[in-house]
Structure 1
Amino acid sequence: MRPAAQDYRPDIDGLRAVAVLAVIIFHMRAEWLPGGFVGVDIFFVISGYLITRYILQELGAGTFSLAEFYRRRIKRIAPAMLLVLGVTLALSALLMLPEDVRTTAKSAVWSLASLANFYFCFFKDSGYFAGGNENYPLLHLWSLGVEEQFYMLWPLLLMCWRPRSRLAYLLVAGGLAAASFLGAEWLVGAQKDLAYFMLPTRGGEMLAGAMLAWPARDGQAAWRPRVAGAAALLGAALILWSLFGLSKLDRFPGLLALPPTLGTALLIQAGRSRYAGIGLLAHRVPVAIGKVSYSAYLWHWPLIALWQYGYGAPDLKVALLLAALTFALAALSYRLVEVPARHSRAPLLPLAWRQFVLPGGLAGMAALALVYGGKIWPGLLDTPYRKELVRLGDANQPAAGQPYVCHRQRLSESDLVDAQCVVGSGPGQIRVLLWGDSNAAHYVGMLGEFTRHSALRFRNLEIGSCPPVLGDPAPFVEARRLQDCRNSLKLVQGVLAQYDMIILGASWSQYQARSPQFFEQLSATVSQLTRQDKKVVLLGKVPEVPGVRRGCQAKALTYPALDCQPSGVEIKPEIAAANDYLRQLARQDRNVAYFDANAYLCDNGVCRAHEADGSLRYADASHLTMPYSWRLGRRIYDAEGVPAAFSQPHWAADRQPPP
């Protein structure tokens, strides 16, 4: 929603250019601009300023109308967003795997209801800064959801209140903004997704912009040139520090959202004072970028995500091509969609029908068809493409999802006794437990092969991103996973007495990287178990092969020239160091053994993600496929029998590589 022509501020379009370029660069490769995600905060401040200024001007003139306000919002937001959403759904249906198409379609339905932030907060597998975002090509619409929720509430408050005192207005807006930032700071440690995606903890940026709108209304706050110059320099410094000094590892949002927010507010206020130095933002190049920034924001992420989904992070050449395509599409949609829509003079209801309800309804029906079409009409799935997907899926299944692999985000009491969680047959009580995270789960097939040739039977209990330790896991676990991890560990610890052998597997190096105390706690856990006369087997971490992408061979059916056989790599030093520590730990106690299968995954120090015939060993960069896990067990058995770690009553301190 732009102000009247006589109030047009080209420097604000320049700020929009900074914001959208920051976000695009960050999404291309985070290391190129570590704090580029604060571009969204810059957008929020600008939005709060411009739209609140319009509301206050209309209230002051006695002409404010909610119907007119939302008519303008629909014209500004809906047409371009619906175009991009529809194109993204179509491209996703053509390029993505069926389960990811359904996920994209679900997010589209929530986005149509201006609730995208709710979907990505509560239903996305991992946080905004975690890996796998390329599976969500509509992820960026979370910010539109936050804005629209804000503008459902803020105009109503102003219309009911009709503030007449500048001081009272600043106190209320400032108080709400302060509560938002403090609430985010309090929440970000325990529930980062809630803090990042939800209005109460992100509304502070828009309220900060709104605080500038009152002086813009009555002209009382123009600064002298020296003051404006100092403010502009400070504002630019705060934004630059945020762009280059912050990263996805920081506690953001919260108090760290203040620098980009204050920096943007200072630049907006300095621009009101006609400070000459602000002219750089008003140059025709940033202004031109700023004019199409909304469309550029809409287009950039689907293009980047769909590229990354198939080919991985873009290099510089590809990034430049994607950026060029983004701005070409943005310019077209600005000229052909945004501008004509804004010039419409239709009343609210006809305009809402034509620009939102009808196209949005069609998009929603298309999304629902993508989600539920296969269930309603099963014949849709009977195609050569789907049959090939099933074949590849059977060959490249990850551990998670197998009925006999009890890998959970949170264990339940029923998992502790579930017969499906037991691998191996035979009479008597189960005396062996495999316990760990996903790096234990992918060993289930290997161990399952050993059960075919020995008396070994075991129950497996794996907890996502949760280390198998007896102490508090807080230093080693993401805040969003901590409560589920604690509850699950408590359940496991309650049944350890039933087992004589405990097999531990985990992403050891990852937990050690989070806290240098991890190995100490692991050692204490092993000691406590052996003091209880239990035998402990430590499973080494497999090498990571970064070039492996989930479902690569299936994606190659729709992505041309996709290479699913990345070059071999050496074991990362941190993984080798972690495995060496486990090996040394095993040598200190005859009731502790160490085992890894890396000798079967690596030749002369080079580790490969695929077999000689091209079949994949890895489901992703760090986890074996379940079919290969079974084949690995057979290969090990053929070479050396059931390894001593799992068959001898007293454990060997180490194992020898195969001949």
Structure 2
Amino acid sequence: MTTLHPHLSHPKYRPDIDGLRALAVLSVVAFHAFPTGLKGGFIGVDIFFVISGYLISTIIFQNLEKGTFSFTEFYIRRIKRIFPALILVLATSYAFGWFALFADEYKQLSKHIAAGASFVSNIVLWDEAGYFDNATETKPLLHLWSLGVEEQFYLAWPLILWFAWGRNFNLLTVTIVVAIVSFYLNIKGILTDSVGAFYSPQTRFWELQCGSLLAWITLYRKDAYAGFKTGLDKWLAAVVYRDSRHQVDGKTLNNAFSFAGLSLLVYGFYVINKDLEFPGKWAIVPILGAVLIIAAGPHAWVNRIVLSNRLAVWFGLISFPLYLWHWPLLSFARIVETEVPSATIRIVAVAITILLAWLTYMLVEKPIRLGKHSGVKTVALIMLMLVVGNVGYVSYLKNGLEFRQADAPAKTKMFADVKGTVLYNTPEDWVDERCHSALGTRYDYLICRFTTATPKTLVVGDSHAAQFAYDSISKGSNDLALVAVNGCLPFIDLVTINPTEEFEEKSSRCKVVMPIVLKLLRDFPSIQRVVFATRGAMYIEGSGYGDTEKKNNYRIIKDPDDRLAENYNQFISGYVASINEILKFGKAVVFIEDVPEIGVSAKNCLDDRPFRISDKDRPGCNVSRQSFDERNAKYRKAVDSIVAATHNRVRIFPAYEYLCNESTCDGLKDGASYFYDDDHLSMRGSSYIFGKFAEWLKQVTPKL
């Protein structure tokens, strides 16, 4: 059964399915180019899943039944179908990135090239989704997550069916069971891990399984429901037509299916949006719409007139390279422009995408898929993919090849001098040996560092506590200890959370901070003061600042049902409770009023890239004092309330004053950036601000 057979049988070509592919890919392209214009365009990927599940399962079912199924030929066909265009896009992205990207960006691109070549992009992107994950718009190979899901399906599903067939299991039962399990995991996952539910294969396979179920029904039960379909068609014909005597031929029902399917897709394009829990139950809309359209058959009016027209079929034929090319072009345009490109640039990018897709289809895909020497072509494609994947992986290990001219190493260090810091190292480096010894256990996400066995100052907070202290921490100076968890306020029973996080998991992170702080105060009597440092304005306002921070939408809550929580009051009460616990130990408390948020990535302010699409000026690493004051008004008012509620026993260090004057707050000083990204200090900035803190501390120490 698994020996090589001259040909696997394939389903009869249906131009309407190519037209459905066109609808899917064009909706995705439209969404990525103009996300506010077609908010639900991303559901085109779900349409692709149904098509893939239908066609692949049809091939497997037919050939298992005939005894002609061959794993070898099946995967040869997959390789010849997918590898040529993918290799070209990966190699081109690597080449363009060589000249256009900084080292940190090139390192990430190289990792994604390796992941794309290995068909695990969805797993890598799932793992990346976190506090310091950069904006999705600046990941040129982000879209390969869906290809990863499909390829994982192509690996798993034939093996499952072959195994089931060989043991005389009912393939319909197997298909339904896999679909139900996957759909259950999807519904459960959207509540417990929405990022995982989006990227993981087990929560997406049900979408392809819907296509598989349709394939089975089409092959084996088409006539079983003939009586029911005839009756339903007769009733529909009577409803639609005045004289239905000659209309009971199945066409009315098929037309109803196709119109209903198209209506569902149109509804999904305009109602579903990225703020909804997706896939979840919302994915049923595009899945059912695609199933109905395919089930309607090629002779239904929508399928025959709309989907089978020449233009739609042409876009369907180039849909795969079109999908592969569109996002790298739009993403690279976003990167080199340092902001969302103009509408003109995006339109030109889409036009170039269509041209590249057609050229790829004509000059690369067709010659390789068709013709002789199939074995030689397959081996060559595998070797090329291995080369591309390994080049990407090595470049990732080499930290993005900093020697490249595009990176300008000397200038890069002006803003990205963060090597060796506690904040940007890997989580394995966040907790040092003294902390391990003092805590006696391991904590996920915790940053805990000592510069001495007898620290005098304990800095506590989130990533802004780490950025405040990490220059001194890395140099082992100033008798410091640091305890922080990224994205968490140091509260006893309140949790800071955004929509991409789940309460139980985030609660377990955030609620470890204060117990650790209290333990350290008991175990280290040398600690004289506790310094709280957090990104206050973001938590108070509930949102980030600038285009790069739109993803942040924080709430401060006590439990998952705390729907009416108001950040301002929660911020005050949480800090008051924590500070009162510190004061019981007789320790001094200092509150850091945070540095400004500059709202743009620092690298884009300091160093021009080798080329730009437009000739506009690069952004400035500054914000007006008026904007800063407006952004921080509630935050500073909250700090005053905290001081009053703790009977003026808290001293305030206004860190922002050393980067702000009467007119602006600047992220650049003496031609160098004091910021690493849009809101975290670089090593230089950390050294500068902490130096000012040390001077301030000497002046106020007698009062502390």
TM-score (norm 1): 0.82
Partner of 2:486: 464
Partner of 1:657: none
Cα distance, 1:324 vs structure 2: 1.2
Moved more, 258-267 or 562-571: 562-571
Establish whether residue 444 from structure 1 lines up as the match of residue 469 from structure 2.
yes
Question: Following the alignment from structure 2 to structure 1, what is the Cα–Cα distance between the partners of residues 35 and 147?
Answer: 22
Cα distance, 1:156 vs structure 2: 2.6
Q: 1:289 to 1:118 in 2, by over 3 A?
A: same
Question: Following the alignment from structure 1 to structure 2, what is the Cα–Cα distance between the partners of residues 446 and 158?
Answer: 57
Question: Following the alignment from structure 2 to structure 1, what is the Cα–Cα distance between the partners of residues 73 and 394?
Answer: 34
- Equivalent residue of 1:263, what SS? helix
Is the 2:533–2:594 Cα contact (8 Å) retained in structure 1? yes
Partner of 1:435: 460
How many residues end up aligned between the 2 structures?
626
Partner of 1:25: 30
Moved more, 135-144 or 404-413: 404-413
Moved more, 401-410 or 555-564: 401-410
Q: 2:150 aligns with which of 124, 147, 151?
A: 147
Question: Following the alignment from structure 2 to structure 1, what is the Cα–Cα distance between the partners of residues 512 and 42?
Answer: 33
Question: Following the alignment from structure 2 to structure 1, what is the Cα–Cα distance between the partners of residues 429 and 371?
Answer: 52
| Counterpart AA for 2:501 | E
Counterparts of 1:226-625 in structure 2, within 5 Å, are: 226-271=252-297, 274-276=300-302, 279-311=305-337, 312-347=339-374, 349-354=375-380, 356-371=381-396, 388-389=408-409, 391-397=410-416, 401-402=420-421, 412=431, 414=433, 416=435, 421-422=449-450, 429-444=454-469, 457-471=479-493, 473=495, 475=497, 478-479=501-502, 483-486=508-511, 490-497=515-522, 498=524, 499-512=527-540, 513=542, 514-515=554-555, 516=566, 518-519=570-571, 520-550=573-603, 553-554=606-607, 556-557=609-610, 563-565=618-620, 568-569=623-624, 570-571=627-628, 573=630, 575-589=632-646, 590-604=648-662, 606-611=664-669, 613-625=670-682
| Counterpart AA for 1:568 | V
Q: 1:241 to 1:643 in 2, by over 3 A?
A: farther
Question: Following the alignment from structure 1 to structure 2, what is the Cα–Cα distance between the partners of residues 26 and 609?
Answer: 34
- Equivalent residue of 2:421, what SS? coil
Establish whether residue 50 from structure 1 lines up as the match of residue 73 from structure 2.
no
Q: 2:96 aligns with which of 91, 95, 101?
A: 91
Cα distance, 1:434 vs structure 2: 0.9
Partner of 1:628: 685
TM-score (norm 2): 0.78
CA RMSD of aligned residues (A): 3.9
Is the 1:235–1:266 Cα contact (8 Å) retained in structure 2? yes
Q: 1:156 aligns with which of 156, 159, 165?
A: 159
Question: Following the alignment from structure 1 to structure 2, what is the Cα–Cα distance between the partners of residues 470 and 406?
Answer: 27
* Deviation readout 1:428-478 (Å, 9 max, x if unpaired): 932321111122223227989xx99xxx74322332222222225364682
Is the 2:423–2:466 Cα contact (8 Å) retained in structure 1? no
Q: 1:532 to 1:491 in 2, by over 3 A?
A: closer
Question: Following the alignment from structure 1 to structure 2, what is the Cα–Cα distance between the partners of residues 34 and 242?
Answer: 9
Cα distance, 1:183 vs structure 2: 0.8
* Deviation readout 1:570-629 (Å, 9 max, x if unpaired): 128554323321222213322123333333434446434334x54323322222323133
| Counterpart AA for 1:184 | N
Q: 1:266 to 1:482 in 2, by over 3 A?
A: farther
- Equivalent residue of 2:44, what SS? helix
Question: Following the alignment from structure 1 to structure 2, what is the Cα–Cα distance between the partners of residues 584 and 149?
Answer: 55
Partner of 2:69: 64
Counterparts of 1:54-203 in structure 2, within 5 Å, are: 54-122=59-127, 124=128, 126=130, 131-162=134-165, 169-203=171-205
Is the 2:15–2:298 Cα contact (8 Å) retained in structure 1? no
- Aligned residues with identical type, % of pairs: 28
Question: Following the alignment from structure 1 to structure 2, what is the Cα–Cα distance between the partners of residues 261 and 521?
Answer: 45
Question: Following the alignment from structure 1 to structure 2, what is the Cα–Cα distance between the partners of residues 45 and 292?
Answer: 18
Question: Following the alignment from structure 1 to structure 2, what is the Cα–Cα distance between the partners of residues 271 and 504?
Answer: 65
Question: Following the alignment from structure 1 to structure 2, what is the Cα–Cα distance between the partners of residues 407 and 118?
Answer: 18
- Equivalent residue of 1:568, what SS? strand
Q: 1:577 to 1:567 in 2, by over 3 A?
A: same
| Counterpart AA for 1:88 | S
Question: Following the alignment from structure 2 to structure 1, what is the Cα–Cα distance between the partners of residues 496 and 692?
Answer: 38
* Deviation readout 1:496-536 (Å, 9 max, x if unpaired): 43444222122334445232354243333233333443433
Cα distance, 1:212 vs structure 2: 0.8
Cα distance, 1:41 vs structure 2: 1.5
- Equivalent residue of 1:361, what SS? helix
* Deviation readout 1:98-128 (Å, 9 max, x if unpaired): 3433333333233323233333333x2539x
Q: 1:421 to 1:272 in 2, by over 3 A?
A: same
- Equivalent residue of 2:667, what SS? coil
Question: Following the alignment from structure 2 to structure 1, what is the Cα–Cα distance between the partners of residues 333 and 48?
Answer: 25
Is the 2:518–2:582 Cα contact (8 Å) retained in structure 1? no
| Counterpart AA for 1:153 | A
Partner of 1:656: none
Partner of 1:655: none
Is the 1:35–1:246 Cα contact (8 Å) retained in structure 2? yes
Question: Following the alignment from structure 2 to structure 1, what is the Cα–Cα distance between the partners of residues 133 and 289?
Answer: 27
- Equivalent residue of 1:470, what SS? coil
Cα distance, 1:8 vs structure 2: 2.8
Is the 1:28–1:313 Cα contact (8 Å) retained in structure 2? no
Is the 2:138–2:335 Cα contact (8 Å) retained in structure 1? yes
* Deviation readout 1:177-235 (Å, 9 max, x if unpaired): 12112112223343344332222111111001111112332543686445444444443
Is the 1:135–1:309 Cα contact (8 Å) retained in structure 2? yes
Question: Following the alignment from structure 1 to structure 2, what is the Cα–Cα distance between the partners of residues 436 and 406?
Answer: 18
Cα distance, 1:482 vs structure 2: 5.5
Question: Following the alignment from structure 2 to structure 1, what is the Cα–Cα distance between the partners of residues 659 and 110?
Answer: 38
Question: Following the alignment from structure 2 to structure 1, what is the Cα–Cα distance between the partners of residues 59 and 661?
Answer: 68
Moved more, 326-335 or 284-293: 284-293
Partner of 1:210: 212
Partner of 2:703: 649
Is the 1:406–1:415 Cα contact (8 Å) retained in structure 2? no
- Equivalent residue of 2:594, what SS? coil
Cα distance, 1:336 vs structure 2: 0.8
| Counterpart AA for 1:576 | A
Question: Following the alignment from structure 2 to structure 1, what is the Cα–Cα distance between the partners of residues 326 and 533?
Answer: 40
Is the 1:442–1:623 Cα contact (8 Å) retained in structure 2? yes
- Equivalent residue of 2:340, what SS? coil
- Equivalent residue of 2:651, what SS? strand
- Equivalent residue of 2:154, what SS? helix
* Deviation readout 1:330-352 (Å, 9 max, x if unpaired): 111011111222213444x4332
Is the 1:182–1:255 Cα contact (8 Å) retained in structure 2? no
